[in-house]
Structure formats: structure tokens, C-alpha cells
Structure 1
């Protein structure tokens, strides 16, 4: 069985949905399970709905209208007959979201987020499944929440592998074309959970692992995995082949093409991962398999924007030792900070973090009661794998380097 993942860019409009059909007709669709994301930037739009719910309910209807109008434009293009059953299905899904927000009593942002945001995926797969039927691609629509079970750590749920394996093994027809949602799962109480932002790749890997799939293909709007993000770097090169280990390194440092959690279940069963272009589906793209390094062997550039760098030192110039570091990491954990770089000396400790849960102010308040703290917001963290001096010089040009850290294979620079 093959697992295909299509992201939001591939289904951002009606033409994109039609192109998915073309891809399937080109490469085959038997014994295939599709994992599909929300259309275009709908996840962002659903996040606005959640934000409006908590911060300004007067804007809630406007936020909903943006979501509804976006999907209606796609529906009217794909299904000119507005009496088609898919219109009712999409309307029902929208009403489910509105209903939840009307009766919800929970003040917990992350819980509400997971119950609301995932409707982007549910709507997109409902539309695409109906369109497949319209053009003769018989398929089975699956609610992923019936299959992938997790704990209740909302927005970063941990998979219950035993129960997920059982659900998938016993209930999926491997002989048909299946379509399901990325990113979503559910807990023991059947509340929706999510696997982390950009978690649809991870969803594909979970199904691949549980189904012993022959391969996973992530369909992108780029030719494959490039050695640099073309939005930020000129002359990006295609990497033809990457080892699991190297891909995990690149994902850890923030390469956006592959989700960090995706590779681990694939590596355990040595399931090949292909990253290919949905624009040119017959081209080879990039393959991630067991082996060594990358081909071609060129420097790989990764950038993380909007980071926060904190430099801490003890108030009395005493050493920062195990007890202090342990306390620091507990504070980072409690405030859900994603740590991307650490550097320490006898009396100082520097850490570059991603403040994605907006807990920085709380963290700084606590840190300043215990340490001398200097912090820099909106900095960029650049990582170069397989670096050379020319590659480093290209990043340093005209930028202030706040922290530099090197190992044998990798250099990291925090700049502003």
C-alpha cells in the first residue's frame, strides 16, 4: 500500500483539486491512502476564528464568513449544481463548529483550538472525496479521529501507538482508494486532538508504519527537498537522495519540507519517503532511504525566523552548574518553549527559542527574578549542514552575529 500526502498548497483552489486527480491518474491510485491538509491558508483562517472567540466575539461571524466564502468559491467551481449533496455536508461541518463554540464552557485555549481548527481538514477532504466520486474515482472517506488515538496534550498530542495500530490494521480496506485528514487525532474521550502544526506529514508516516506501506510520497510545489529554501536563498539545489539520519538532522534544525516527527516511524521499518512535485509528478524528486549522507554533497541552509535569544548570567557571578541548568530547562518546559540552540560557559547560558505559545513574558518575569537576563526578539537562526567558509561568509554579510556555534558537520548563527 502507498501513502500519499497532499498539503494545503496542492488543494488551495478548484484547479488544485483537479490537479490531484491528474496526479492520481498519472501515477496510479490503487491500494493508496491519501492524507490531505486544509485548503490553502484555511488553517490560519480557523486560527483567527479561535482568536476571535477568545478576544473579540464581535469579529467571530466575520472570521467564519472568510472560511465559508473561501470554500464556497471552490465548491461552485467544482460542483456547478448547487443542489449537489456536498453542499449540505460542508454546511453541516460548519454548523458543528458553530455549535461547539455556542455550548463550550472550557476556558482552555489549546482545547478549544483543537476542537475548531481541524475542521479545515474535515471540509477539504469532504470536498475532494465528493469530487473524486464525481469524476469516477471511487473512494472511501475516513475520519482520521477514529483511527489515530492520542493523549489529551492538546496541540501537541502524543500518539497511543498500540491503540492506533489496532484501529488502522482492523478497519482500513487496503484494496481501495482511501482519503483522510492530516494533523488530526482524538483522545480517550473522543475530543479532537492535533499532532502539532504541519503535522500532516506525521499523519502519513503513522499510517505507513501501521499498514507496513511500501512508501510514503509527500507532494509539494517544489521539485523535492532542496538544499535551501528558495524564498530566502538564491540558487537552491535539488537533493536527489538523503539518508534517514541526515533527513532527521535537517528536520531537527528546521528544514520545512519534512516534519521532524515524520521520519522516525518510517526509519524503524525502513519505509522510503519520496518528496515530489505535484506540478511534474513523473519527475524523480527526492528519496529518503537508509544510507549515508546526501547526494549531491553540498551545504544545506536552514533558517528560522522570529526567534528569541536569551542570554543569562548569575546575579552574583557564581557558576551556572547542574542545578541552575536543570531549573532553566524546567522553566523552558513549563512555558512550552521550543529550544533551538543552547550555549553555556561557567557563568553564562544562552538559549535561542521559538515562542510559539506566546509565553515569553511569563518566562522572562520568572528568569529576571533569578538571573541577569538580556534578550533579543525577532532574531533569525541560521543553520548550515556540511558547511564551508564560503557558505558561512554568505550569511555573515551585513548581519550582526549574536551567537555562533560549530560542530564538525554543522554551524549555527543567531543574527539580527
Structure 2
């Protein structure tokens, strides 16, 4: 069994979808599961629908129509028969989405977000499934929500592994080509949940674990795992091999090529992960496996922008000790802040966080009742694995450094 994952960039338009079929024909698709993200920028477009649902009802239908138009144009490029079943199947999903927008009574943003955002993956997979059938690659369309069960922590749901393993083991047909959605699952009430942004990689790993897959391949618009994001760093280099541990470290610090949760289930069963280019599918790409040494050993750069640096100090110059730190972390958890780096001294405590849930003001209000607070917004957090002084100089040049922390293999620098 092998698992392929195609992200939004690899299915961004009709030509890209045709390329998916070509990759399968070249690389083989026997005993294969394909996990697919939403087409192109559909997730962003659905986020606009969600925004309009809450904030700008007059633009709600127009934003929805833009998504429908975009998908219909792709379908028309792929299917010459205007009576093909794909049109009906896509329209069913749009009717379901519209019905939810009309009938929903919940004011919970995170719940609404998850019920709407997953339609991107449902639409992409039904279109691609029908196109592969048209090309002679007969396949079985699978609703991932019938397999991956989670709690109801909407937008960052935790997988119920026992239930998920049971459902996949008892209902999954491994003898055919299967296609399913990344990123989404469902809770015990069958409401849609999501696994976090970029969660399609994680979906592939969940299926691979439960199916005892031989390997997982993530298809990207880059040659493999690079030592830096080419959007932000020049002369990024391909990393040919690395261990699970190294990849987990990079993912933890925010390397965008791999979802932070993806590697843990793969490591548990020693399933190798390949990251390859969908433009050059026969190139080697990057292999991530057990006890594989980083090759080449060079500094690896990660940047996370739009971060928040909060610096706390005690009101009466007393020590920041375990009780204070416990309070701080309790508040960070309560307001769903993702922590990037922490640093503390006798009377101060600094933390760099992501304000993904827009709860910063509430958090600051609570912190100011207990500490002196300095808050810097829109800072950048740089992480360098296997750093050297030249790599540090590259980051610090022409920037103001607010925080710097070094360990044996990693340096983290917060700048404005």
C-alpha cells in the first residue's frame, strides 16, 4: 500500500489535475490511496465566505458564486461532455453548503469555520475522481469523515486513534485506487472538523499508519525538502535525506513543507516519507526515514512572520517562579496561543506566540492584571538548525533583535 498526497498547488487548475493523472500513470497506482487538498486558493476563498457570513452578509452570495464559477471553469476544461455526472455531484455539494449557510444557528466561529472550509476538499476530490475515471484510472471516492474521527476542538481537532483505526481497518478497500480528502475529519456527532491548516499531510500519515502502508509521498512544487523557504531565502538547497527526528524538529519550528503532526505516526511504524516534485516526478526528492543522516549537513532556516512577542515582569520585582509560569501557560492554553519560543530570567518572562484565534486582547487583559506587560506585534521569529556564525549574521543584518536564544543545534531570533 502506498499513499500519495497532492496539495493545493499541485491541483491548482485543469492542467495540474491532468498532471496528477500523468504522475499516477508514470509512477503506478496499484494499491494506492490519494489524499488531495482543495484546489488552488479555494481555502482562502472559503475563508472569505466565512468572513462575509459573519461580517458582511451582502457579499456572501457573490463570494460563494466566485468559488462555484472557479470550479465550473475547471470542470469545463476537463470534461467535454456537458452532461457528465460530475456537474450534478459538484452541485450537490454547493447545495449542501448553501443550506448550511441558511439553516445554521450556531454563533461559534470555529464550528462554522469547520463546517464550511471542508467543502474545498470535497469539491476537489469529486472532480479529480471523476476525471481519473475518464482517463481510465478507475477509483473509489472516499468520504474521509467516515474514517477519521476526532474530538470537537474545531479548527485543531485531535484524532481518536482507536475509532479511526477500527473504521479504516473494517471498511477500507485496499485492492482499488482510492481518493479522499485531506485536512478534515468528523466528531462523534458527525459534524466536520479540521486537523489544522496544512493538515492534509497529516491525513496521509493517519491513513498510512492505519493501513500499514509501505511509504507516503507528498507531491510539492519544490524538488523536496529545502534548507529554507525559497519565497524568503535565496539559493535554497535540497536536503536529500534526513531522519524522522530531524524532520520533526524542522516541522515543530514551522517548516512549511511538512505538517508538524505528520511524522509522528509514520515514525511509529517506520514508514518512510518522500517529498517530491510534481513537476519532475521521477527525481529522487527527499527521503525521511529512520536513522537517516541529514545530507547535506547545512544550516536550515525557518521564518514565521506576524508573530507576537510578549515580555512579562513581576510588579514588585519578585521572582518569576513556578507558580507564575504555571499561570502564564494556563492563560496561553486558555486563549489557544501557539508558542514558538520562551525565555525567562529571575524577574522576567518572554514568549513569542501566534495569535491564530484573535484572542490576543483578552490574553493581554488577563496578563496585565498580574504582571507588567510589554507587547510587540508583527515580529518575525527565525529559527536556524545546525547554525553557524555566518548563518546568524545573515538573519541579524539590518534588523533589530528583540530576543535571541541558542542551544547546541538551534538558534531562535525574534526581530522587527
Alignment pair present for 1:65 and 2:65: yes
- 1:297 and 1:197 map into 2 onto residues whose CA distance is 29
Instruction: Return closer, same or farther for 1:95/1:381 CA change in 2, 3 Å cut-off.
Output: same
Superimposed CA distance per residue, residues 69-123 of structure 1 (whole angstroms, 9 cap, x where no aligned partner): 1101101101132211111111110110110111111111111111111000000
Q: Partner of 1:18 in structure 2?
A: 18
- Work out whether residues 241 and 292 of structure 2, in 8 Å CA contact, stay in contact via their aligned partners in 1: no
1:325 is matched with 325
Map of 1:137-286 to 2, 5 A cutoff? 137-286=137-286
Deviation of 1:2 after TM superposition, in Å, equals 0.1
Is 1:5 aligned to 2:41, yes or no? no
User: Cα offset for 1:51?
Assistant: 1.1
1:39, 1:203 → 2: CA distance?
Answer: 17
Supply the distance in 1 between the matched residues of 2:74 and 2:315 (Cα, whole angstroms). 59
Structure 2 residue matching 1:294: 3-state secondary structure: coil
What's the secondary structure of 1:226's corresponding residue? coil
Q: Which residue of 2 aligns with 1:289?
A: 289
Deviations 1:329-375 (A, max 9, x none): 01000000000000000000000001111111111111112111111
Q: Once the 2 structures are TM-superposed, how far is the Cα of residue 293 of structure 1 from its aligned partner? A: 4.0
Q: Deviations over 1:303-326 (max 9, x none)?
A: 001100011101111111111100
Tell me what 2:302 maps to: 302
Deviates more, 1:43-52 or 1:198-207: 43-52
| Greater Cα offset, 198-207 or 80-89 | 80-89
Q: Is the 8 A contact 2:314 2:371 kept in 1?
A: yes
Aligned to 1:93: 93
State the partner residue of 1:334. 334
DSSP 3-state at the match of 2:291: coil
Q: Distance in 2 between matches of 1:177 and 1:185?
A: 20
Alpha-carbon distance in 1 for matches of 2:295, 2:106? 50
Structural mapping, 1:377-396, within 5 Å: 377-396=377-396
Shifted more, 55-64 versus 210-219: the winner is 55-64
- Which stretches in structure 1 are left out of the alignment for 5+ residues? none
Range with greater deviation from structure 2 (75-84 or 305-314):
75-84
State the 1:292 CA deviation.
4.7
What is the distance in 1 between the residues matched to 2:14 and 2:104?
34
CA distance in 2, matches of 1:195, 1:128: 22
- Deviation sequence 1:223-280 (CA, Å, 0-9, x none): 0000000111111110000100000000000001010000000000000000000000
Query: Is the deviation greater in 399-408 or in 164-173?
Result: 164-173
Detail structure 1 runs of 4+ shifted over 6 Å in the superposition.
Answer: none
Instruction: State the alpha-carbon separation in 2 of the partners of residues 409 and 293 from structure 1.
Output: 15
Deviation by residue 1:104-163 (Cα, 9 ceiling, x = unmatched): 111111111111110000000000000011111100000000000111111111111111
The CA distance in 2 between the partners of 1:66 and 1:323, in whole Å, is 52
Partner of 2:315: 315
Question: Could you report, residue by residue, the CA deviation over 1:134-193 in whole angstroms, capped at 9, with x for unpaired residues?
Answer: 111100000000000111111111111111111111111111100000001011111111
Tell me, in whole angstroms, the C-alpha distance in 1 between the residues paired with 2:195 and 2:231.
26
- Local SS of the residue matching 2:239: coil
Report the secondary structure of 1:312's partner residue: strand
Cα distance between partner residues in 1 of 2:109 and 2:226? 36
Query: Match for residue 408 of structure 1?
Result: 408
